[in-house]
Amino acid sequence: MAGNRTIITLECSACKERNYSTTKNKKKTQDKLALSKYCPRCRKHVAHKETK
């Protein structure tokens, strides 16, 4: 991988299942990432937060 981008996993805030992985630039975005994504277990769009 080139540059400052690192791979992170996104965890559902409702059921705590880790559904998605993405990359983020650590220098520009230092706080935890939170995105609204579809959770197949909950069957709805829920906020997914960054985990280790």
How far is the C-alpha of 10 from the C-alpha of 21, rounded, in Å? 6
Query: 5-51 — its CATH code?
Result: 2.20.28.120
What does the pLDDT read at residue 2?
A: 62
- Residue 21's identity, in one-letter code, is S
- Per-residue pLDDT for the chain (52 aa), expressed as one digit of tens each? 568 899 999 999 999 999 999 999 999 999 999 999 999 999 999 999 999 7
Locate the domains of the chain by residue range: 5-51
